[in-house]
Amino acid sequence: MAFAILCRIIFAILILLPISTIAQTNLNITLGSSIVANRSNSTWLSPSGEFAFGFQQIVPGSYLLAIWFNNIPQRTIVWSANRNNLAEEGSIIQLFQDGRFELNDPRGQRIWAANLAGPRVAYAAMLDIGNFVLASNTSRVVWQSFDEPTDTLLPGQTLNQGGDLVASFSETNYSSGRFLFAMQTDGNLVFYTRNFPMNDNIFAYTSTQTVDSGYQVVFNQSGYIFLAARNGTILSFLSSESASSSQFYQRAILEYDGVLRHYVYPRSNNGPGACGFNSFCSLGTDQRPNCECPNGYSPVDRNDRMSGCKLDYVPQSCDREINETGLFSFIEMPNADWPDFDYDIFEQYDEDSCRRACLDDCFCAVAIYNDRGCWKKKFPLSNGRLDSSIGGKALIKIRTRNATVNPTSESQQNRKDQSTLIITGSALLGSSVFLNLVLLSSLLIFICYNRRKSSIIQSYTVLPGVNIRSFTFIELQEATNGFKEELGNGACSTVYKGVINNENGKLIAVKKLGKMVEEAEVEFKAEVSSISRTNHKNLVQLLGYCDEGQNKLLVYEFMSNGSLSSFIFGNSRPSWYKRVQIACAIARGLCYLHDECSTQIIHCDIKPQNVLLDETLTAKISDFGLAKLLRPDQTRTTTGIRGTRGYVAPEWFRNMPITVKVDVYSFGILLLELICCRRNVQTDVENENEEILSYWAYDCYKIRTLKLLVADDEEAIYDIKQFEKFLMIALWCIQEDPSLRPKMKRVLHMLEGSVEVPIPPNPESFTTIC
């Protein structure tokens, strides 16, 4: 089994606070220099100030002699001397006149000493690459921290035969822990669990199987970590995600959970600054970082933007007796991520499974869904970022209803739960990651935020070209049992349900077209061939046709969940999330018709009745086959209005060219209906201002009474920002002036959150010269 399969290298990123570096010229640390372990925090800095050598107080009165990244707000120790024997206050590290380099306690008892061999030490220096060296008067290195790694490798460092990394005991206890990563003298590179607290290695959980060939682990300046043979040949990559050391701080650390992780930190101070726990950082229009709280959270301290955010509600109970799954739902935040510390990862998940996985798990605070990957995050969320380069979406778990128990006992209950939550949570993290190491069948590498932009999996099968089936009328008569079960009918067609017996009983929808005028007949075949070339998961697929004289039929895939119209105007309101998903799906289908298929297709009749839902509730546009395929020279058609009242763009009534923008208009109306879950025209309302949704919606937007539109839709109320955004997009789509309406591609980008939505003008402000 390839090493890559077993070894999980995780790239993570930490956003830096813009800290001004105290540049200090390289003063050689001269003989006689010393540092005392006390609260004066004196250090020896590297010339750039990026690394520091000195004492870190681990617990009050106990100090670790260490090297750390000095420009990172979090304590990030990369090397330590006395991890298993902390130094008490007043201990002293000294470069003696005779060249000895020793750590002694206040009574002069030796705690640690550099193992010296070779020429006499003349000076010491903290180098910019994070290496602390003792050198001779000819600048020959006599001793260096790079030769005695603790649990971390830095770029430029190698782990030679006989060298090893030992994980810390826990996140905060830097003592030697349970895992070991050894470059053995036999050439094999092995991960072991250690028999804690004894020093023997009991279980090799993975190895490179390079006995006799492996020589050293190299972490080079381009960010590659690999096992090399003596002759320099690369035998195996541990991390092949490059990151230039000139742009990133990097480290590879065997963490206390047994995972070797490659961390990358942007050096740049221009990036978004770090925000507090549970908040996220985005770049404002002024290119300055903003710290914001996600929906459902509010700032810990309103006056301090960096203070982080706290939950507005009681978190989900982990008590087995109280199943609160039904009381929570999600708010979507496209392009957001909290990249550190996923405690659980699922691959090849669909979004619904990802949502379910997080809902059913009381530890899960946020799930990141991106490209069929699902990452579960728990509190506190750190290093949040919102950026269009991230892609995917964060699903923020929110409470939509309060539990109906005595509130005081509930909050006490939850306080208790939180402490157990942390304990079980971290135990879970340790063990599950370890299991993952053994079981995971693929290497998870992610760098920065592009990490999930791997291959896009096509979730639909490709129908080859015009190669659709031609049916005989008899066949279709049989398939529909003599056109028995009617699914619906339109002005000049009726749709029947059918089943193809020789294809495992595949369900179909057969559309029987009424009598056609001769001219239309000529076009029928051309249209069929054109439509059959379309292939998109948000379009109902044409499977075949029948063309026998007067009998003209089209055969489509059967959509088991009926039309969007019955879905949104039916008795029970579908979830806000589903509706958001459907809006995006329709936009994608339209984008395809307008821009991506070989002949531009204007649907001309977008409305909820013409959007069908399959068994997974994926929305698919139907009936585009009967829309006239307008060739560019035909766009000035004035022959009769197509489309359905209420959804029809104003240009049909005016002497104006018909373009793809008529579909944008209809989509805008549909979007309004979808987000408000009501028909555009509704006469049984109390207030007559509310009769026409498209007018009323603009009024509500203008005078900021959005809540009237969402009424009692709790999920939408929780996600009011997204609701408002969708409303703004809809208002752009229904502009009277077609040139003001965005193209579908832009609409889609706005829906997905990768493009800002500008303030929409009043849709009716356009006056035509008729």
Ligand X SMILES: *[C@@H]1O[C@H](CO)[C@@H](O)[C@H](O)[C@H]1NC(C)=O
Contacting positions for ligand X (CB under 6 A): 26, 28, 36, 38-41, 58-59, 120, 122-123, 137-139, 169, 173, 175, 213, 220-222, 224, 229, 231, 233-234, 313, 323, 325-326, 360, 399-402, 560-561, 615
Considering beta carbons, is residue 222 or 459 the nearer one to ligand X? Answer: 222
Tokens standing for residue 674: 């979808």
Considering beta carbons, is residue 120 or 288 the nearer one to ligand X? Answer: 120
User: Which distant-in-sequence residues (6+ apart) come within 8 Å of 395 by Cβ?
Assistant: 330, 331, 332, 333, 354, 355, 358, 366, 367, 368, 369
Q: From the CB of 209, what's the least distance to ligand X, in Å?
A: 13
Look at strands 10-13 and 260-266 and give their pairing: parallel
Considering beta carbons, is residue 401 or 525 the nearer one to ligand X? Answer: 401
Question: Is residue 727 a contact partner of residue 675, using CB atoms and an 8 Å limit?
Answer: yes
Q: From the CB of 455, what's the least distance to ligand X, in Å?
A: 23
Considering beta carbons, is residue 136 or 307 the nearer one to ligand X? Answer: 136
| Closest alpha carbon to 676 in 690, 663, 662, 666 | 690
Q: Which residues share a beta bridge with 155?
A: none
In the DSSP assignment, the letter for residue 692 is B
User: Which distant-in-sequence residues (6+ apart) come within 8 Å of 466 by Cβ?
Assistant: 529, 532, 533
Considering beta carbons, is residue 73 or 758 the nearer one to ligand X? Answer: 73
Question: Beta-carbon neighbour count of residue 120 at 10 Å?
Answer: 12
Considering beta carbons, is residue 398 or 747 the nearer one to ligand X? Answer: 398
Tokens standing for residue 691: 């009769």
In the DSSP assignment, the letter for residue 734 is T
Question: Is residue 217 a contact partner of residue 239, using CB atoms and an 8 Å limit?
Answer: no
Q: From the CB of 320, what's the least distance to ligand X, in Å?
A: 7
Q: From the CB of 230, what's the least distance to ligand X, in Å?
A: 6
- Kindly give the residue spans of alpha helices, DSSP state H, lying in 277-406: 351-359
> In this structure, which amino acid lies at residue 601?
I
Exposed/middle/buried for residue 599 (C-beta within 10 Å: 0-12, 13-18, 19+): middle
DSSP strand E in 338-439: where? 342-346, 366-370, 373-377, 384-386, 393-399
The dihedral region occupied by 530, where left means phi > 0, alpha psi between -120 and 50, and beta the remainder, is alpha
> In this structure, which amino acid lies at residue 215?
Y
> In this structure, which amino acid lies at residue 516?
M
Q: From the CB of 137, what's the least distance to ligand X, in Å?
A: 4
By annotation, the residues acting in catalysis are 605
Q: Which residues share a beta bridge with 55?
A: 65
- Angstrom distance (rounded) from CA 542 to CA 535: 9
* Helix H or strand E segment including 253: strand 248-254
Tokens standing for residue 168: 């810390």
Considering beta carbons, is residue 171 or 756 the nearer one to ligand X? Answer: 171
Question: Is residue 619 a contact partner of residue 590, using CB atoms and an 8 Å limit?
Answer: no
User: Which distant-in-sequence residues (6+ apart) come within 8 Å of 98 by Cβ?
Assistant: 120
Considering beta carbons, is residue 210 or 541 the nearer one to ligand X? Answer: 210
- Angstrom distance (rounded) from CA 652 to CA 639: 10
Q: From the CB of 402, what's the least distance to ligand X, in Å?
A: 4
Q: From the CB of 42, what's the least distance to ligand X, in Å?
A: 8
Count Cα atoms within 13 angstroms, Cβ side, for 375: 20
Considering beta carbons, is residue 133 or 747 the nearer one to ligand X? Answer: 133
Tokens standing for residue 83: 């991890």
Q: From the CB of 622, what's the least distance to ligand X, in Å?
A: 16
Q: From the CB of 54, what's the least distance to ligand X, in Å?
A: 10
* Helix H or strand E segment including 203: strand 201-207
Question: Is residue 537 a contact partner of residue 618, using CB atoms and an 8 Å limit?
Answer: yes
Task: Give, in order, the Cα–Cα distances in Å from 708 to each of 680, 696, 698.
Answer: 15, 10, 12
- Angstrom distance (rounded) from CA 280 to CA 260: 27
Q: From the CB of 744, what's the least distance to ligand X, in Å?
A: 26
Considering beta carbons, is residue 325 or 470 the nearer one to ligand X? Answer: 325
Considering beta carbons, is residue 146 or 224 the nearer one to ligand X? Answer: 224
Q: From the CB of 613, what's the least distance to ligand X, in Å?
A: 7
The CA R_g of the chain, rounded to the nearest whole Å, is 33
Tokens standing for residue 240: 């092949």
